[in-house]
Amino acid sequence: MLMRKPTRINRNSVVLLLALALVPGCKKEEAAPPAPAPKPAQPPPAPKPAAPVQQQLSSAVKGSGALSFKKDPFKPAIVPVTPAPSATAAGSSVSPAADLLPIQSFEVSKFKVAGIIAGMRENRALLIDPNGKGYVVQVGMQVGNGNGRVTRITPSSVEVVEKGAGRGKGRTIVLTLAKKR
């Protein structure tokens, strides 16, 4: 088998290649461009364009207040911030009807327990509202229109505590799982 020695590149040929790469090509000499003509006095202002026929669609809501961002993918990304209600609301703890979740629009006693998942980190329960819609709840979630909170989920029941108007403890409602037939 015949082995060749690697060829050395001649230093002169490298210098020659670099010099050729750096030398600009032949260019045709051009005459200097003529000086630009002086501009006339400012032209009269153009009339304002008419309002567009179609309004621009945007998720940004314009308003006098500040803007905030939401993480709900089904609502606009930017919504105006409304000022906080004044202290004349007599300290009512019930939210306006527009801010309530669907699970908070019925009395707690109207819900039925359809199933309970026990044995995980936290127990969870499936509650069915009077309209037949199901909600998976866990301890700490709000349920019902009386500011009720789920306090405990056992393998056979869900315990909800509704806060009273005063400093009292409120009332406890126990929803039990229907027995199998």
Q: Look up the pTM and report it.
A: 0.46
DSSP state of 17: H
pLDDT value of residue 69: 57
Q: Are strands 142-143 and 134-138 parallel, antiparallel or unpaired?
A: unpaired
According to the model, what pLDDT value does residue 176 have?
Answer: 92
pLDDT score for 124: 93
- pLDDT of amino acid 181: 66
Pick out the chain residues at pLDDT < 50. Answer: 88-92, 94-95
Sheet of 148-153, strands arranged across: 142-143, 148-153, 157-162, 171-176
Q: What is the pLDDT of residue 16?
A: 73
- Taking the CA atoms of residue 90, residue 91, residue 92 and residue 98 in that order, the dihedral angle to the nearest 10 degrees is 100
In this prediction, residue 146 carries a pLDDT of: 86
Name all domains of the chain by residue range, CATH numbers in brackets. Answer: 100-176 (2.30.30.830)
Q: Are 113 and 143 in contact (CB under 8 A)?
A: no
